[in-house]
Amino acid sequence: MCGICGIYNYKHQDPVTPGILAGMLQSIYHRGPDHEGRYEDDAFAFGMRRLSIIALSTGNQPMFNEDKRYALVFNGEIYNYHQLRKQLQARGHIFTTESDTEVIVHLYEEYGKDCADHLRGMFAFAVWDKVERTVYIARDHLGIKPLYYTQQGDRLLFASEIKALLADPDFEPLLDHYALNQYLTLRYVPAPGTLLQDVYLLPPGHWMVCSEDGVVTHQYWDVEFNEKADPTKTEDDYASELKDLLHESVNMRLMSDVPFGAFLSGGVDSSTVVAIMSQLLDQPVKTFSVGFGDDGIDYSELPYARVVAEKFKTDHHELLINAGHFMDHLEDMVWHMDQPIADYAQVAYFLVARLASEHVKMVLTGEGGDELFAGYGRYVGERYAPLFQRIPQFGKQMARTALETLPQLRRVKSALYALSMEDEASRFAHWIPQFTRDNKKHLLTKDVKRQLKLDQSLVKYIIQHTLEGTEAKSSVNRLSYMDLKLWLPDYLLIRGDKLTMASSLEGRVPLLDKELVAFAGRLPAKYKMMGTQRKYLLKKVAGDNWLPDEIINRKKKGFPVPVPKWLRQDAREYTRDMLSPERVKQRGLFDYDFVSKLLDEHERNFADHTTMIYGLLTLEIWQQQFIDGARRPVADVTPVIEVDHVAN
């Protein structure tokens, strides 16, 4: 597990300024405090910060093939590297280490751009070809590991985190207003865009090549759905296959030379992972959970986590957090996220990662089950979409207007708003909005609306364009495809990567193994959602083999945090200061009267505007850090920890 970064002056071949690479590496020190390595070759230079998990003494990077034509830096883990190593040795490749990193460089030597097709794991890596003078960069199938890049004239910069790009003193960070429009609706910015102009996130399942001819990107993999049911397979057959795949996937991710554990929320996904780990290990699993004191008792999931911990006799660790934690850590959390996501559960995730890092260097987590097996409420909501389409538009508008006069009922209002949309793409975009289309008309200033030309269709276009990539017909699979392509990588997995690595902790996601994703793609939709029962087959398998009914049938919460209450009480003054009239007006993005209305209604408990307020709050903090330069990395940072493999 590492952080990687690099610079390529691909047109003029001017030498790379060493201080910039040093600053980039220092800015991602937290991703790999165990080692630093660099490679420099005239107009090209890249480096890495390593968090040692396997092959502790021999896994340092960069790594090379036999004749040192190819140099590699790599972030992630490859779980099938033992099999790949044997195959490559049979074809004459010579290895000098036991690490998974070395497998990738030989795989590139053997298969070139197709090398990523063979990998089973999470990764973002770069290969420098000193003969062809090209750099090949690839990101894993589901987007577990991020890779950002920017072109500054004829120069390419790439890195595991956006903040590393800021180490280039010539790079001027500017807010991308079109990306802001996407963020305000979706809560996040879909790849390849980011909130910064000319900074891009390589999409999942893509590779990129930069040469003297420029930059080219290509999609090498996509999620596939085969909706033709296999008549020879029964429900029990599918259940047996799923059980075996879950067992295999968790087992593969126990590969480690350092202590490890698991996040445990008490939900089906994380509890299933912990249950399988307990079967496979001969010592108690170290588990980590967060909860709240008296001010957040209604939000706490600790009772469920304790049920699982007691059942499997784990070495269980808990952290109680409060409004003080929220305010103390919010700004650091935004910095580590690189760009805001309107998800106040980040606070809990950030702090449980801090807790875990005090005991282990790697954890398994439960992300992916909801996207693969229809776990969200919106999957049920889509079942009612055809019925709502029959209701005249004026009838839906009247219902929405009536609900707006009532306090609370946030989820009901959101569902009704989504179901009132006239087309699939608009409906998908509004199942979990930060600001609805109507909200944004009041929120944005006239100048911003003029700049965007009221382009509210941009988000709809992104959804439409995404859905063009699948041939799935059922609403369950179409929504699943969108979640796997957008929500999962650009919201949940980015959160997981940034907030674990902020504490030098590796997070692994067994439910997103490539083979499990392929299984979900061929699983009949009826076994994902049976009537209105979500995650039907996953719950059946987990309930029949591992988990008690009180976990299987509990209400889904995720990582709930009592932020709604904190914004009304302990964090009220802090929030008011960050979103003061002076700050809001100086930015020139939002109408302060509307922002003030949100704050007033939330504080007097007329409505729950937590998502909108939190989204605006973290956006302001992010602008102070990334746009105003409050935390910009310095290019000539010292000291340099260690330098390996510098080219002659």
Of 2, 5, 115, 210, the active-site residue reads 2
As a whole number of angstroms, the distance between CA 6 and CA 164 comes to 10
Which residues make beta-bridge pairs with 38?
A: 47
Which residues, including other chains, have CB under 8 Å from residue 570's CB and lie 6 or more apart? Answer: 322, 323, 324, 326, 327
Q: Are 262 and 272 in contact (CB under 8 A)?
A: no
Q: What's the sign of the alpha-carbon dihedral 568, 573, 578, 579?
A: positive
Q: Are 221 and 117 in contact (CB under 8 A)?
A: yes
* CA distance from start to end of the chain: 27
State CA 186 to chain mean position distance.
14
Edge to edge, what strands does the sheet with 70-78 contain?
63-64, 70-78, 121-129, 134-139, 206-211, 214-219
Q: Are 316 and 350 in contact (CB under 8 A)?
A: no
Is residue 2 annotated as a catalytic residue, yes or no?
yes
As a whole number of angstroms, the distance between CA 641 and CA 477 comes to 48
Report DSSP state, residue 607. Answer: S
Q: What's the sign of the alpha-carbon dihedral 502, 504, 510, 513?
A: positive
As a whole number of angstroms, the distance between CA 160 and CA 155 comes to 17
Provide the residue type at 561 as one letter: V
Provide the residue type at 378 as one letter: R
Helices (H) and strands (E) in the chain, counts: 29, 17
The DSSP annotation for 376-433 comes to: SHHHHHHHTHHHHHTS-HHHHHHHHHHHHTSSS-HHHHHHHHHHT-SSHHHHHHTSS-
Instruction: Count CA within 13 A, CB hemisphere, residue 149.
Output: 29
Which residues, including other chains, have CB under 8 Å from residue 105's CB and lie 6 or more apart? Answer: 63, 64, 65, 70, 71, 72, 127
Of residues 4, 7, 66, the one with CA closest to residue 36: 4
Alpha helices by DSSP H, listed for 213-367, are 235-252, 268-280, 302-311, 323-337, 346-357
Of residues 338, 373, 364, the one with CA closest to residue 528: 373
Alpha helices by DSSP H, listed for 546-591, are 549-552, 563-568, 572-578, 581-587
Which residues, including other chains, have CB under 8 Å from residue 12's CB and lie 6 or more apart? Answer: 43, 154
Q: Cα-atom radius of gyration of the chain, to the nearest Å?
A: 24
Q: Are 89 and 45 in contact (CB under 8 A)?
A: no
Q: Which residues are catalytic?
A: 2
